[in-house]
A and B are shown apart, each in its own frame.
Chain A
Amino acid sequence: MVEWSLIIYCGIITFFSRYLMIAILKKEMFTDRIRDVLSYVPSAIFPAIIFPAIFLDINGDILIENNPKIFAAIIAMIIGLVSKNVLATIFSGLISYWFLIFVVFS
Chain B
Amino acid sequence: MSNRSKIFFKGIADVSPLMIPVVPFGIIFGVLAIDLGLTPVTTIAMSIIIFGGASQIIFLQLFSAGASSLIILSSVGAVNSRHLLYGAVLSEHMSDFKMTWKIIISYFLVDQAFAVTNSYLKKSTDKDKAFHSFGAGATCWVIWQTTTIIGIFLGSIIPEKLGLSFAVPLTFLALIVDDLRKLINVIVIIISGLIATLGYEIIPFKAYVIVAAISGLIIATILTKFKGLNNG
Tell me, in angstroms, the Cα distance from A53 to B57 when the chains sit together: 12
Q: Tell whether A49 is near chain B: CB-to-CB under 8 Å.
A: yes
Tell me, in angstroms, the Cα distance from A49 to B60 when the chains sit together: 11
Q: Identify the closest chain A residue to B73 (Cβ).
A: A9
Give the A-B pair count, Cβ closer than 8 A: 264
Residues of B within 8 Å of A6, CB to CB, are: 69, 72-73
**Is the Cβ of A49 less than 8 Å from the Cβ of B80?**
no
Asked whether A44 and B76 contact (CB < 8 A) given A15-B106, A30-B88, A38-B81, the answer is: no
Q: Is the interface of A mostly helix, strand, loop or mixed?
A: helix
**Is the Cβ of A10 less than 8 Å from the Cβ of B55?**
yes
Residues of B within 8 Å of A35, CB to CB, are: 85, 88
Q: Tell whether B13 is near chain A: CB-to-CB under 8 Å.
A: no
**Is the Cβ of A43 less than 8 Å from the Cβ of B188?**
yes
**Is the Cβ of A14 less than 8 Å from the Cβ of B80?**
yes
Interface residues of A in 1-54 (CB under 8 A from B): 2-4, 6-11, 13-15, 17-27, 29-30, 33, 35-54
Interface residues of B in 153-208 (CB under 8 A from A): 162-181, 184-185, 188-190, 192-198, 200-201, 208
Q: Tell whether B83 is near chain A: CB-to-CB under 8 Å.
A: yes
**Is the Cβ of A50 less than 8 Å from the Cβ of B193?**
yes
**Is the Cβ of A25 less than 8 Å from the Cβ of B84?**
yes
A-B contact pairs, 9 of them (CB 8 A): A21-B87, A33-B224, A44-B216, A46-B54, A48-B208, A73-B173, A87-B20, A87-B174, A93-B166
Binding site for A on B (CB under 8 A): 20-21, 24, 38, 42, 45-46, 49-52, 54-55, 57-59, 61, 63, 69, 72-73, 76-88, 90-92, 94, 97, 99, 102-103, 105-107, 109, 162-181, 184-185, 188-190, 192-198, 200-201, 208-209, 212-217, 219-221, 224, 228
Would you list the 10 A-B pairs with minimal beta carbon distance, nearest first?
A44-B216, A25-B87, A51-B193, A21-B87, A80-B177, A47-B193, A17-B80, A40-B220, A11-B49, A48-B196
